[in-house]
Structure 1
């Protein structure tokens, strides 16, 4: 099955901690690019049902923290 053509470009702002977590995950999983890693993380986030609902009461979801393993 061919890969669908990517026609939309998204721009997001990340802080240094967020970028480090993504890059560490990318290298650990041998993803070819940062963009590929982010697409895979989004895909995984969308298919999982073990995630709590986001707080949508007008707050930004930018408070991104990962607990160390």
Structure 2
């Protein structure tokens, strides 16, 4: 299990995204030196949730 995944039970999630959103995720990951798309998605979700909590 990758270091950045918590020790809690992980749940696999299948989603469909339009190509432009995949491209945006990949570009964001590249700019932030995140090699794996899955890790980039987890980081973006985490940032979104943290931003929502601050509102």
TM norm structure 1: 0.62
1:4-38 CA distance string (max 9 Å, x none): 23520000001110100000000000012000000
Structure with max Cα Rg? 1
Aligned to 1:46: 49
Unaligned runs of 5+ in 2: none
Which ranges in structure 1 are unaligned for 5 or more consecutive residues? 53-69
Moved >2 Å (runs of 4+): none
More helix by share: 2
- Indicate the RMSD between aligned Cα atoms, in angstroms: 2.3
